[in-house]
Chains A and B, each alone.
Chain A
Amino acid sequence: MKLKLRIWRQASTNAQGSMVEYRLDGVSEDMSFLEMLDMLNEQLTEKNEEPVAFDHDCREGICGMCSLVINGVAHGPEVTTTCQLHMRSFSDGATIDIEPWQAGPFPVIKDLVVDRTALDRIIQAGGFISSNTGSAPDAHATPAPKREADTAFDNATCIGCGACVAACPNSSAMLFTSAKISHLALLPQGQPERYRRVKSMIAAHDEEGFGNCTNIGECAAVCPKGIPLESISRLNRDLMKAMFKGDGK
């Protein structure tokens, strides 16, 4: 396959960036998208040019580190992570635009690499169950109904990649936040902190500069783990109830 790539190059956070064009030949359709970029980088190194910086790690679609907007869509044309996207999804001679996540709370570090630590700070605000090591009762002490446990699991599969934010016209991280709220609110162990958690996490979400949700649904459309919009509804229901309770921020 022959490709024309247009890639966002930006030297550092405060530098001016621009789209730069590259041509790549001999790409096989069995290669993953990131292997295609590896190939480009090898060729740039050969020419003594600086390779394109991009985030990636596990390349198995689970760590959440990869993050590219490909032809205008977060993670590209298939609903999966960029690392699991393969070149067979593109046709020979295609032009491919590659950009970083774009959102105020995700400043660009270099080229396609952005800072997503804002998501960690949302978790710090309450995305956990307070249970010190050693204090746990027997695992079978509290049965959890399978249906709720399965839905909790579905939400717990969020990989924190930030595609939902990149896709949202409001740069909202509500899908990310609601996945954690749902995961913990659906388990018996998550009940004691349930309402305090939702208030604190939403406060942190807003403080970081993420926008609000206006039910557009772009987030769920690109989520590689299929977190549904319904999770945001659950978050809103819990938030409403929490407003009448005293605890939390």
Chain B
Amino acid sequence: MTDVALNYYTLGEDIADKKAPQVAIDKVWETRKFQARLVNPANRRKLSVIIVGTGLAGGAAAATLGEAGYNVLNFCYQDSPRRAHSIAAQGGINAAKNYRNDNDSTYRLFYDTVKGGDYRARETNVYRLAEVSANIIDQCVAQGVPFAREYGGLLDTRSFGGVQVQRTFYARGQTGQQLLIGAYQQLERQVAAGTVKMYPRHEMVELIVVDGRARGIVTRDMINGKVETWTADAVVLATGGYGNVFFLSTNAMGCNVTASWRAHRKGAYFGNPCYTQIHPTCIPVHGDQQSKLTLMSESLRNDGRIWVPKKAEDCAKDPRQIPEEDRDYYLERIYPSFGNLVPRDIASRQAKNMCDEGRGVGPAISEQQADGTVAQVRRGVYLDFSDAINRMGQKAVEAKYGNLFDMYQRITGENPYEVPMRIYPAVHYTMGGLWVDYDLMSSITGMFVCGEANFSDHGANRLGASALMQGLADGYFVLPNTINDYLADAPFEKLDESHPAVVEAKQSAQARIDKLMSIQGSRSVDSFHKELGHIMWEYCGMERTEEGLQKAIGLIRELREEFWRDVRVTGKAEDFNQALEKAGRVADFMELGELMCIDALHRRESCGGHFRAESQTEEGEALRHDDEFLYVAAWEWAGEGAKPVLHREDLNYKAIELKQRSYK
């Protein structure tokens, strides 16, 4: 097979992480912390750090660096730092506490995460994540995070997809909210103490790089449209994922890639952009006016059983009328040992397979097929709690999942205690992100990336309850113990407004805004976003093919050209202007979407959330090609219209043996 992707990119030099010490895996973090240079408390007062984002990673980092005595400038686009989208995570947070005495350990959490990520994550980073996971729980309890408790007053845990131990700590179905409020409170405490200055309703629109070092950012004040520059000794991006490139996703409406993409254009490599996670338990799409999708926690799979009718002719029937023997509990059938708790990528793809076979449920919607014809397809599978209600009683089910059931009922108008829920996969999380080394520093010196915004810990698929773990690990424990090594050389030269690099960054941001305002075309920003999302979902979603991806790249290029010619942004630039905010974000999604397709096209293997139809086992499972693709794809921006440059970071597995993933 010739690599058609070579028409779309060029190959650059290989790269490697140079920060992780070459010692046994369980000594790497300890050794690195000892080797990293320190900044003494008196000197920290002279140093400043810009942090963009206030979610679990950004908020925790801002609070912790503030406590340490640095001057922190923290930015977010929302009206308050408490609204960052970490808040919407429901299910829980993993930690290798082994409170259950079920044989859990740091090594097992590490192993499960690497395996769950289909052997495409960097070992050293993942081990560290597992190592600090226990500290996170301690820290959060001390802050007053009200985790679920048992009658003895100790913490309760539950199990999640892809593992066989109960290591997930939770706060009903609102774990993300509680953890974020914990971090937010610590952040506000530092704001009161004067160590952190908070700038809500400020959107980062450009990065300032001086002599190869990240030294600041340009923001747009979303209230009055003022474009301003901010400089510091280091810049941290904790700006979340880019799932909204698909238009419909479980991300908040404002989630965007702009901060990461602006940095990418200034030299930060983008790691594995095609690794996106499609979450299996979301509420199906109701119509074409839909603005976002709603996820229901994967914890539902602990007690709910997933099925579709065995016969296609039963699909329109009331599910309660379909007898037990005519139901296909397909996950329990195909994966007897993990059953309904297989990892997310597998659960999602099987749901798609069932619907593709014509056994989906719910309303039939018109869908364009690959051959151009339109077919009526039902996009949904049942998630049934009737067994659980019989076994535990409705009261117990209510106590465990009440808020999720209420949410489902509010959105669909159906009562899930009586009728099985309908679910379908939706874009949820992006494992890819800016490339970072072991210290979380990007390929731009002095720019660090934390949380979902970086590529580092989840490989090609993330396990449930690991996003919260990574966000807080990066923010509380990793970055605050690595950034000091960089800041040990600071303070750097003072920059004022008139420095050429500062002027250039501000001018280019302003020019872009002026351009968007001046087009005055005929199509709304949302209409472009929807069309882009449709292309991405169709060709770069749950199943990707060489032909489809090439087609998508062509379509995105056409759409981008049309956008810059015909977009309509109403209102004024120097005003509160939500159309302008969206336009800037969609413009960046258009460029990112193309890179995602190129990355997906070049990776001629299936791994985790990236499923290439050409690369599957006889049973239809993802088939990796470790001989060719055992590396991180780190993409370098080569300029407008130029082919991106691929830098490969080889993955070396020393502590874990590579295996074909199996959950049977």
A139 with B138: CB separation less than 8 A: yes
Q: A219 near B: Cβ within 8 Å?
A: no
Q: A28 near B: Cβ within 8 Å?
A: yes
Q: A207 near B: Cβ within 8 Å?
A: no
Q: A137 near B: Cβ within 8 Å?
A: yes
B79 with A124: CB separation less than 8 A: no
A160 with B153: CB separation less than 8 A: no
B141 with A160: CB separation less than 8 A: no
Which A167-214 residues have C-beta < 8 A from chain B? 183-184, 187, 189-190
B571 with A50: CB separation less than 8 A: yes
> In the complex, what's the smallest C-beta–C-beta distance from B232 to chain A, in angstroms?
21
Q: B606 near A: Cβ within 8 Å?
A: no
Write the residues of chain B forming the contact surface with A, with a CB cutoff of 8 angstroms: 60, 63-64, 67, 78-85, 87-88, 97, 99, 135, 137-144, 146-155, 171-172, 174, 176-178, 181, 184-186, 188-189, 191-192, 198, 200, 223, 250, 252-254, 286-287, 289-292, 294-295, 407, 410-411, 413, 476-477, 480, 524, 526-527, 568, 570-571, 575-576, 578-579
Residues of chain A contacted by B189 (CB below 8 angstroms): 124, 128, 130
Q: A39 near B: Cβ within 8 Å?
A: yes
Contact among A38, A86, A139, A187 with B291 in the assembled complex (CB-CB below 8 Å): A38
Which A48-75 residues have C-beta < 8 A from chain B? 48-51, 53, 55-65
> In the complex, what's the smallest C-beta–C-beta distance from A139 to chain B, in angstroms?
4
Contact among A30, A62, A80 with B286 in the assembled complex (CB-CB below 8 Å): A30
A116 to B152, CA, bound (A): 40
Residues of chain A contacted by B82 (CB below 8 angstroms): 64, 120, 160
Pairs A-B, 4 closest by C-beta atoms: A143-B153, A128-B185, A136-B142, A153-B146
11 contacts between A and B (CB under 8 A): A51-B570, A57-B252, A80-B410, A125-B192, A136-B139, A144-B153, A146-B149, A183-B146, A184-B144, A189-B141, A190-B144
B291 with A32: CB separation less than 8 A: yes
A120 with B570: CB separation less than 8 A: no
> In the complex, what's the smallest C-beta–C-beta distance from B279 to chain A, in angstroms?
13
B143 with A140: CB separation less than 8 A: no
> In the complex, what's the smallest C-beta–C-beta distance from A178 to chain B, in angstroms?
15
Nearest-CB residue, chain A, relative to B291? A35
Nearest-CB residue, chain B, relative to A78? B410
Nearest-CB residue, chain B, relative to A157? B174
Q: A149-B146, A156-B178 are in contact. Are A124 and B191 (CB under 8 A)?
A: yes
Which A125-146 residues have C-beta < 8 A from chain B? 125, 127-140, 143-146
> In the complex, what's the smallest C-beta–C-beta distance from B60 to chain A, in angstroms?
8
B78 with A146: CB separation less than 8 A: no
A35 to B476, CA, bound (A): 37
**Stretch with Cβ within 8 A of B (4 or more), from A1-9, A107-115, A240-248:** A107-115
Contact among B79, B97, B178, B407 with A55 in the assembled complex (CB-CB below 8 Å): B79
Q: A229 near B: Cβ within 8 Å?
A: no
A189 with B143: CB separation less than 8 A: yes
Residues of chain A contacted by B150 (CB below 8 angstroms): 146
Q: A42 near B: Cβ within 8 Å?
A: yes
B135 with A136: CB separation less than 8 A: yes
Residues of chain A contacted by B85 (CB below 8 angstroms): 57-58, 63
Most-contacted residue by chain B among A59, A62, A190 (CB, 10 A)? A62
B153 with A84: CB separation less than 8 A: no
B174 with A131: CB separation less than 8 A: no
Contact among A31, A124, A139 with B137 in the assembled complex (CB-CB below 8 Å): A139
Residues of chain A contacted by B181 (CB below 8 angstroms): 156
